[in-house]
């Protein structure tokens, strides 16, 4: 079997077309197979003992000598099969009509009537009407919900051959065409079985093209189809291009080519392609293929090689001995929201000079009479000076975790205060912990940017949707700060900016948190860290806190747009504040006890390895079934060794990918 592409031009533009750059539109540059090459190709078929000349394109009937080629092939004793879209010139149609019916067939790459323009459909109908049962229909499945019923309708209506050839839309290695995703194969398998039943009911048989895999069908479906070789049909098809070069198949066209003039016969050609691709067959459609029973029994070769190879990843990297600045990805400049501490204007001027471009805003609490701020009242000697003269953008913090009265009563005064700060001091935005309050501010001041506070506890996608139209920026809940996968999901769900708080350090999902913040924000004289007793009993829990160290920020660069430093209380010392901020901006290593975290931060200078970060940022915090953090802490406490002796870790099945 070999296919001869008579021309590269086509009068349709199917989005799934495998032919890629080997096919162009009729109005573009064309390349037609010459008569001498056609004859040479027939010679090759003859030498190879192949009885059928299969003509394809592009649209082969658009070759100006199509009728002549058909006649030549017939004269030399071949049967002729034409792969067409049925929209052909009259001369081509007539040549097929007049050819002996038993020696010529047309496989039409079919579309539903409504997918054609009226003039095209007229042509298709004419072809069907005049060639009748010499026409078989083919259909390329390029979506998980293919509509195939029209095929049976056309067969019955036009008296076409009772045969449907199904193909999967495979991806070209060079890319660019719409293809069926391998993860949709099982869904498509179900549709095919439904279609097969309907086809059988009207006496229509199915054929399958290359690239099908048995696992896309249920056990019952496989038994019903009775096609034991279904999974072994990814072999060199041998397509001759109009320029006289053979390719294995269109999807793999860029991988290897052989010249027609240098080939003895099709068997040799097939051997050459097989040898070229043999190694690459180790790539399979799914990661699990290597453990698959069908593959082990030789019933499947692992699907379309092109689709398999397209799973590959590629990046240029340098194997280096030491830590270095990433070669291809310079450190991303991420703007920071930093806390107000009560310092004179010179302090802020110094920060502005030192970290130019890195600081987005300084957030500051209004006096308690406006609203609670998530902390007890802090020193405010320099606040007025800061508000009037700080050379940095300033943002208001409305961080009461609970309101002192119903929002209807609280909101008007808060909105008035926000307006005043905006008009008098040029305050540019606010962070709000209460969604009802945020909604009212947004209604009253639609242009004023709002950030959803970490205290809103937004940690899953449905919550992110609740902020739609209200908050422009979101600070994800503390419980998810060390969960990279959850952060990725939240980022996908929230249309605005994600601001990550790096050093709050509550225990993840702490059940005392709400009460603690309520006490801090509500003027309690002695707000307590209610987790103290718990952490005294289980000190390793501090390792599960919501902190990220400066040296580990690269893990988060693609997940957030901004970062936020906490520390209105814990970083009130300006020297420490500056040192911590500099470390975060410059990615300089710090230990967790140095970052000005909260009450549940590690208190001791424990060394946090990258392994620790790597594991604990992907573990989902399933602490009930894992002792990693406890072991890590115990190991550090007992030996002060930098790395714990770990329990045996079974390598995950797809560790390579899991590590990505």
291 counts as binding other proteins under rule CB under 8 A = yes
176 counts as binding other proteins under rule CB under 8 A = no
The correct pick among 31, 143, 276, 349 for binding other proteins (CB under 8 A) is 276
Q: Report the C-alpha gap between 5 and 48 in whole angstroms.
A: 18
What is the pattern of x (binds other proteins, CB under 8 A) and - over residues 601-630? Answer: --------xxx--x----------------
555 counts as binding other proteins under rule CB under 8 A = no
Q: Which is nearer to other proteins, 220 or 324 (CB)?
A: 324
Q: Which is nearer to other proteins, 219 or 314 (CB)?
A: 314
Number of residues located near other proteins, criterion CB under 8 A: 47
- Distance, C-alpha 380 to centroid of its chain: 48
The correct pick among 30, 72, 125, 256 for binding other proteins (CB under 8 A) is 256
Q: Which is nearer to other proteins, 181 or 578 (CB)?
A: 181
328 counts as binding other proteins under rule CB under 8 A = no
Please state whether 38 falls in left (phi above 0), alpha (psi between -120 and 50) or beta.
Answer: alpha
Give me 535's structure tokens. Answer: 């952490």
284 counts as binding other proteins under rule CB under 8 A = yes
**DSSP, res 7:** B
What are the residues whose beta carbons fall under 8 Å from the beta carbon of 246, sequence distance 6 or more? 2, 238, 239, 240, 257, 258, 259, 260, 263, 269
289 counts as binding other proteins under rule CB under 8 A = yes
Q: Report the C-alpha gap between 174 and 253 in whole angstroms.
A: 8
**DSSP, res 522:** T
Which 3-state string (H, E, C) describes 426-478?
CCCEEEECCHHHHHHHHHHCCCCCEEECHHHCCCCHHHHHHCCCCCCEECCCH
Q: Which is nearer to other proteins, 276 or 380 (CB)?
A: 276
Helix (H, G, I), strand (E, B) or coil at 1: coil
Buried b (16+ CB within 10 A) or exposed e, 184-205: bbebbbebbbebbeebeeeebe
293 counts as binding other proteins under rule CB under 8 A = no
Least distance from other proteins to the Cβ atom of residue 341, Å: 36
The correct pick among 145, 201, 325, 651 for binding other proteins (CB under 8 A) is 651
Q: Report the C-alpha gap between 386 and 364 in whole angstroms.
A: 10
- Distance, C-alpha 149 to centroid of its chain: 32
The correct pick among 36, 114, 226, 315 for binding other proteins (CB under 8 A) is 315
Stretch that binds other proteins, among 136-144, 334-342, 581-589, 642-650 (CB under 8 A): 642-650
- Run of H or E including 362: strand 359-364
277 counts as binding other proteins under rule CB under 8 A = yes
312 counts as binding other proteins under rule CB under 8 A = yes
- Run of H or E including 225: helix 219-225
321 counts as binding other proteins under rule CB under 8 A = yes
Least distance from other proteins to the Cβ atom of residue 78, Å: 33
In 3D, which of 180, 172, 179, 165 has the Cα closest to residue 22?
172
653 counts as binding other proteins under rule CB under 8 A = yes
Least distance from other proteins to the Cβ atom of residue 526, Å: 43
Check: CB of residue 340 under 8 Å from CB of residue 332.
no
Q: Which is nearer to other proteins, 322 or 353 (CB)?
A: 322
What is the pattern of x (binds other proteins, CB under 8 A) and - over residues 196-235? Answer: ----------------------------------------
Q: Which is nearer to other proteins, 219 or 312 (CB)?
A: 312
Q: Report the C-alpha gap between 198 and 201 in whole angstroms.
A: 5
Interface residues with other proteins (CB under 8 A)? 255-256, 276-277, 279-280, 282-284, 287-291, 308-309, 311-324, 609-611, 614, 643, 646-649, 651, 653-657, 659-660
């Amino acid at each position: 079997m070999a296919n001869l592409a008579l021309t590269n031009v086509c009068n349709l533009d199917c989005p799934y077309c495998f032919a890629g750059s080997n096919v162009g539109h009729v109005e573009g540059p064309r390349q037609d197979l010459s008569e001498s090459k056609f004859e040479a190709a027939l010679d090759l078929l003859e030498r190879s003992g192949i009885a059928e000349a299969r003509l394809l394109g592009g649209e082969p009937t658009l070759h100006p000598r199509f009728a002549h080629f058909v006649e030549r092939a017939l004269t030399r004793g071949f049967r002729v099969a034409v792969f067409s879209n049925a929209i052909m010139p009259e001369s081509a149609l007539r040549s097929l009509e007049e050819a002996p019916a038993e020696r010529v067939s047309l496989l039409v790459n079919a579309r539903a009537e409504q997918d054609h323009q009226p003039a095209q459909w007229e042509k298709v109908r004419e072809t069907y009407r005049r060639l009748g049962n010499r026409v078989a229909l083919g259909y390329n499945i390029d979506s998980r919900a293919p509509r195939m019923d029209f095929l049976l309708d056309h067969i019955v209506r036009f008296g076409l051959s009772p045969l449907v050839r199904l193909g999967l839309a495979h991806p070209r290695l060079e890319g660019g065409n719409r293809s069926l995703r391998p993860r949709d194969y099982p869904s498509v398998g179900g549709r095919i079985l439904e279609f097969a039943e309907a086809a059988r009911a009207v006496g229509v048989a199915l054929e399958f093209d290359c690239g099908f895999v048995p696992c896309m069908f249920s056990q019952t479906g496989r038994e019903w189809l009775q096609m034991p070789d279904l999974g072994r049909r990814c072999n060199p098809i041998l397509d001759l291009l109009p320029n006289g070069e053979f390719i294995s198949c269109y999807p793999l066209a860029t991988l290897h080519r052989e010249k027609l003039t240098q080939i003895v016969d099709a068997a040799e050609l097939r051997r050459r392609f097989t040898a070229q691709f043999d190694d690459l067959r180790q790539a399979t459609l799914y990661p699990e293929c290597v453990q698959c029973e069908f593959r082990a029994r030789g019933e499947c070769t692992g699907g379309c090689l092109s689709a398999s190879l397209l799973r590959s990843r590629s990046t240029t990297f340098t194997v280096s001995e030491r830590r270095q600045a990433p070669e291809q990805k310079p450190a991303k400049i991420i703007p920071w929201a930093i806390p107000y501490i009560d310092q004179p204007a010179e302090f802020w001027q110094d920060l502005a000079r030192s970290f130019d471009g890195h600081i987005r805003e300084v957030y500051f609490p209004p006096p308690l009479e406006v609203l609670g701020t998530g902390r007890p009242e802090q020193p405010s000697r320099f606040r007025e000076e800061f508000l009037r003269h700080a050379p940095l953008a300033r943002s208001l913090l409305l961080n009461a975790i609970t309101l002192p009265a119903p929002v209807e009563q609280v909101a008007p005064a808060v909105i008035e205060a926000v307006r005043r700060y905006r008009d008098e001091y040029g305050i540019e935005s606010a962070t709000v912990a209460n969604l009802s309050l945020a909604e009212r501010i947004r209604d009253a001041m639609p242009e004023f940017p709002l950030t959803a506070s970490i205290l809103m506890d937004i940690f899953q996608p449905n919550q992110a949707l609740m902020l739609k139209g209200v908050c422009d920026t979101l600070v994800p809940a503390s419980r998810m700060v060390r969960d990279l996968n959850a952060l990725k999901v939240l980022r996908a769900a929230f249309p605005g900016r994600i601001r990550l708080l790096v050093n709050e350090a509550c225990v993840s999902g702490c059940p005392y948190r709400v009460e603690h913040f309520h006490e801090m924000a509500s003027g309690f004289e002695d707000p307590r860290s209610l987790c103290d007793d718990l952490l005294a009993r289980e000190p390793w829990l501090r390792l599960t806190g919501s902190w990220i160290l400066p040296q580990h920020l690269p893990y988060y660069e693609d997940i957030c747009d901004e970062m936020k430093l906490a520390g209105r209380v814990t970083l009130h010392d300006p020297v420490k504040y500056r040192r911590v901020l500099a470390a975060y901006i410059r990615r300089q290593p710090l230990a967790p006890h140095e970052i000005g975290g909260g009450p549940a931060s590690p208190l001791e200078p424990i060394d946090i390895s990258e392994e620790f970060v790597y594991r604990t940022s992907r573990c989902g915090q399933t602490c009930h079934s894992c002792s990693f953090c406890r072991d890590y802490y115990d190991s550090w406490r007992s030996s002060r060794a930098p790395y714990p002796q770990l329990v045996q870790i079974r390598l995950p099945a797809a560790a390579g990918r899991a590590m990505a």
